[in-house]
Structure 1
């Protein structure tokens, strides 16, 4: 198998993870594993949350695919593992660093994508219970949130003029 196919598998997995993450967030985190996710919607002021266990839930299959794939020459499996790991890193940057600012690296961004994902996530967190949620994805943001942020930006620019 050619290395370019492994790159395609890695990138395909990365993009597929957005759908997997959406479904896991909606049906697992806001479903039967709500007891792990609840402290993310109702913070207790601790550095770590029970919700952080989901890092392991996604990291373990990634690690196993990479390790077993490389050990056994099943490189397509390793490529899947690398795609999951890449998504995990992107999720960490977007969710923990940019949105929730658990690390104060990007606190004043005026980038429209950053503002849109922060708004969509704010709308997700306005629901403190496990029902009636919205915006379960992470990197892909629905058009309604883009429209809201764009109209806010246009109003701000008009008021400056």
Structure 2
């Protein structure tokens, strides 16, 4: 029974993280912490790193705190921590590697899902100011971006 609950918590956490990414992106990154996110929309630097990467560090710390709680006897901490970690890995693969090509991999992915996610993100980056924008999600984007 415990493994079933662990899997449910893990999958639920992964799913909730997509909502958290959307919420954080729309209301925090394009809100009061635009100063950290702005360099992701305006490439005004020569560094491979962006101030925007601070958001990744925040969720990594949350995940590590939950791992620590799991290690110290609160077993749901493991499932929650791994759910956040798994979403972080998926986000990094899709956003940083596949879409923004921070590493030159997955360049030829050309299926309907890949095209839709790329199209949605391209539309998002078309807007350069914090108040503008659409499509703040990452793995689940509106169906209109999957149409030809």
TM normalised by structure 2 equals: 0.96
Aligned to 1:94: 94
Give the 3-state SS of the residue equivalent to 1:11 in structure 2: helix
CA distance in 2, matches of 1:26, 1:141: 14
Structure 2 unaligned blocks of 5 or more: none
Structure 2 CA distance, aligned partners of 1:96 and 1:9? 26
The CA deviation at 1:4 is: 1.5
Report deviation, 1:45.
3.2
Deviation, 1:93, is 0.2
The CA deviation at 1:50 is: 0.5
Partner of 2:60: 59
Whole-Å Cα distance in 1 between the matches of residues 143 and 132 of structure 2? 19
Give ranges in structure 1 of 5+ residues lacking alignment.
Answer: 152-161
After TM superposition, the structure 1 = structure 2 runs for residues 11-160 of structure 1, keeping only pairs within 5 Å, are 11-43=11-43, 44-71=45-72, 73-147=73-147, 151=148
The aligned residue for residue 158 of structure 1 is none
The alignment covers a number of residue pairs equal to 147
Tell me by how many angstroms 1:7 deviates.
1.1
> C-alpha displacement at 1:77, in angstroms?
2.0
The alignment's C-alpha RMSD in Å is 1.0
With 28-37 and 101-110 compared, the bigger mean Cα shift is at 101-110
